[in-house]
Structure 1
Amino acid sequence: MKSLSRWISPLILGVVMFNTIRLVTDLPSHNPFWSNSVPFHLLALFVSVLMSYAFDFYARYYMKRVRAKNISVMLEYTLLLVYLFFAVNLILYLGDNIGILFLGDKIADYVIADVVCILYFFLYYIIIRNDKLEKEYNQQSLQMEKIKVDQLEIELKFLRAQYHPHFLFNALNTVYFQIDEKNKVPRHTLEMLSDLLRYQLYGGNKKVPIQKEIDYLKTYMNFQRLRMSERLVLNVRISEDLKEQEIYPLLFLPLIENAFKYVGGDYHIDLDMSCEKGKILFSLFNSKPLDAEIKSHRKGIGLENLRRRLLLLYPDKHSLDLQEQPDHFVAKLMIETESV
């Protein structure tokens, strides 16, 4: 239905606009409506309809351009009126000289055509512009409602699970004190595990200094190394410029989890993290087993959750690039942020 209206509207505009010009021209002169040659009027009507379709396409293109440039509404309308003035008069001049339009009283006919055409085209532009804005507003409203529903679901899940972290930390604390003080390695492992869990469970959804996130990632990688083969080569390069920038927590963790999960072959993991012009650049490389039967595909819940969080927390301010090769995998994440 909307598609049909999209194509009929310019036709109606052209017919109404032409007949308005005829009414304004014929009635004050006491001439019959559509006086003189009917075929000639039909030809002029066809030109009016053709102009309307052309303007419809141009108006939608023009709307995208001015909105992309983020100019003011006043300037948007002013530029449109200037365009309409030159375009309408050019068509009238060419039509008159070619012979498909008849402008008897040059000045009066030009003025009438200018006023009617420019007014109708301008009103038509306002209508389609408002229709576009209304559709976008409705889409944004639906998106906001969906986000609110998602947040409520997450909050309910968090409240249901709130008891379990307390039980877990109490259990870890019990195990910690049951280990002899001389066994420093398992005690240290439990401490690292407790720190990791505490950050994940109580970090919340508020921004944290990037240094705090980096400390967490280092603890996580040290914890993972405890269970990895001694052949693992882990190279971590983190720029010293990353200190006070604020970022939402746990956005890099899913990529590091996958790197440790799927590492094989040469057992090589390279992590680079830097800051450039207000952007945090994160790059992660891990070698893979050459066995063709081992396929990671990396389409698990962790990555889908990461994509969803990035979309909600950094709309149009991030990029995530995943590149999988037979012997290695590369993940690149860019997040636009600001220094505090």
Structure 2
Amino acid sequence: MRLATYNIEWFANLFDQKDRLIVDDSWSGRHNVTKAQQVEAIAKVLTAIDADAILIVEAPNTGRHQNTVRALQAFSEAFDLRTSDAVMGYANDTHQELALLYDRTVLSVHHDPKGDIADATAPRFDGVFKIDLDIDATEDVVRFSKPPMELAVTTQAGHNIRLIGAHLKSKAPHGAESRDEAIRISIANRRKQLAQAIWLARRVEWHVAQKQPVILLGDLNDGPGLDEFEHLFGRSSVEVLLQAGLFDPNAVTAYRFRPGPVPATARFARPEEGKFLDALLDYIMITTDLQANRPSWRIWHPFQDAACWAEPELRQALLTASDHFPVTLDIEL
């Protein structure tokens, strides 16, 4: 079985208010990319990775008129993708939903959140989490702006797993008008992101205690060396999750002693420097009990993956579709 996570930048911009694809020469949300170009590129990438289930991070919007599941299923139908069914969890107000495209002939899936919304230790993801992160005897009240999606998955072979899709808080100081304000916002964002990671870790630990295998996948918005505040709280969001008993070889490699090559799942333009910044943000983490199932990870980075580089059409599609690249996990389930 192949599972994937893919953050598709500005995917919502490619649909109208009735969830119909906009395939024209108007500009998408991506720099110098039309909607038609991005739509075609996304379809090429999804066809190439050929996953049985794909977590779409920043999926099309659900709102008064729009519906994420309807939009994704229409996209799959338009390009004859075998992942023709979609499921989502809690809708949010950010126009960046979490949803899963999947092949119903391979697995069955339904949204199945666990936990008590009022649990003080590990509440359900649409609840409120209270934690004192800075040891000031005052609890921080944390909510997910994008609540993780918790799915019950049954494979064709009869295996039951818990799939958790997540998009953690960004640490970027958006809206800052001075260096002091940027520092304050960056620290506040990192504090909230770390709290979200601890919340996720506790939910994972709860499932492990119930003898349930878990796969956590998505955009954690964290990786080594991304900002100057990463040592302020002693550990990163990724390290919190690894310490909860999850495993991702790319994360382990990245946090080893450097110098050395670091995997990357995203590429951002830095026009003021005339450069691009590579970053490791997207992960597929598995619990220990799944490590015996012959897992194999791949980052579809057009400049780091030899097979992607060797196919010019796929290489260009990866660069056009999003500023993130898919991560896939092949595993026997």
Structure 1 and Structure 2 fold alike (TM over 0.5):
no
Normalised by the length of structure 2, the TM-score is: 0.25
Structure with more helix by fraction = 1
The higher radius of gyration belongs to: 1
Structure with more strand by fraction = 2
Normalised by the length of structure 1, the TM-score is: 0.24
Higher RCO (CA < 8 A, seq sep 6+): 2
